[in-house]
Amino acid sequence: MVHMMRQEEDAAPTRASGSQVVQRVALLMRLVAAGQRSGLRLADLHRAASLERPTVHRLLQALVGERLLRQDGASRRYFLGPAMYEMGLAASPQLALRDICHPHLQRIAQHTGDTVFLTERSGLDGVCTDRAEGNAPIKAYVLEIGKRRPLTVGGGATAILSAMDDVEVDRICRANLDRTLKKFARYSEPTLRGAIARARARGFVLSGVLEIPDVRTVAVSIRDVGGAPVAAISVSTVASRLDDERAMEIGTLVRSAVEAIEAALADQALAALQPSTPSAAGRQPKN
Q: What's the longest Cα–Cα distance across the chain? A: 77
For the chain, the C-alpha Rg in angstroms (whole number) is: 22
CB 131 within 8 A of CB 118: yes
CB 93 within 8 A of CB 224: no
- CB proximity list for 100: less than 8 A, separation 6 or greater: 261, 264, 265, 268
> Where do runs of H (alpha helix) occur along the chain?
2-10, 18-34, 42-49, 53-65, 82-91, 97-112, 155-162, 166-183, 189-202, 244-273
Structure confidence at residue 16 (pLDDT):
57
Structure confidence at residue 287 (pLDDT):
46
243 backbone dihedrals φ, ψ, rounded to 5°: -75, 175
Q: How far apart are CA 148 and CA 158, in angstroms?
A: 14
Q: How far is CA 86 from the centre of its chain?
A: 19
Structure confidence at residue 5 (pLDDT):
39
Q: How far apart are CA 144 and CA 10, in angstroms?
A: 38
Structure confidence at residue 8 (pLDDT):
41
Structure confidence at residue 143 (pLDDT):
79
Structure confidence at residue 267 (pLDDT):
86
Structure confidence at residue 18 (pLDDT):
77
155 backbone dihedrals φ, ψ, rounded to 5°: -65, -45
Q: What is the dihedral of CA 48, 51, 57, 63, to 10 degrees?
A: -80
Per-residue pLDDT of the chain (287 residues; tens, 9 = 90+): 434 434 444 444 445 567 888 999 989 998 888 788 788 999 999 898 899 999 999 999 999 999 899 998 889 999 988 888 677 656 555 458 999 999 999 999 999 999 999 999 988 999 999 999 999 877 777 778 888 899 999 999 999 999 999 999 999 999 999 989 888 888 999 999 999 999 999 999 999 887 777 899 999 999 998 899 999 999 999 999 999 999 999 999 999 999 999 999 888 877 777 665 554 444 555 44
Question: Domains of the chain (ranges plus CATH)?
Answer: 2-88 (1.10.10.10), 92-272 (3.30.450.40)
Q: How far apart are CA 148 and CA 145, in angstroms?
A: 9
Measured at the alpha carbon of residue 131, what is the angle toward residues 247 and 68, in degrees to the nearest 5? 155
Residue type, 103: P
